[in-house]
């Protein structure tokens, strides 16, 4: 979700501040935090793209009829 990606810029700015001011332990932690944030944001994007029922196209036509649980 693009709405969450701003946090990556904030973490980069904080990291630059830490490096510029000799806060090396903080800079390392911020690097790790940025990686975790990027991974979680990517995960959210993948979840948003994945169909709820595991099918490739959750809005496509169902050859068995309208409901998944219909029996002939």
Confidence check: pLDDT of 16 > 80? yes
Q: Please give the pLDDT value at position 1.
A: 46
- Please enumerate in sequence order all residues whose Cβ is within 8 A of that of 7, keeping only pairs 6 or more positions apart, or say none: 37, 41
Could you tell me the pTM of the whole model? 0.62
- How do residues 23-60 score in pLDDT, each as one tens digit? 999 999 999 999 999 999 999 988 877 766 665 555 55
In the chain, domain spans? 2-49
Q: What is the mean pLDDT of residues 10-34?
A: 98
* CA–CA distances in Å: residue 23 to residues 10, 13, 31, 39, 51: 17, 13, 12, 24, 44
């Amino acid at each position: 979700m693009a709405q969450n990606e701003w946090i990556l810029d904030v973490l980069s700015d904080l990291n630059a501040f830490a490096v510029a001011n000799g806060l090396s332990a903080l800079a390392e932690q911020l690097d790790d935090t940025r990686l975790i944030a990027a991974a979680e944001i990517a995960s959210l994007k993948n979840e948003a793209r994945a169909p709820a029922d595991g099918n490739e196209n959750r809005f496509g036509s169902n050859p068995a009829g309208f409901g998944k649980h219909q029996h002939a």
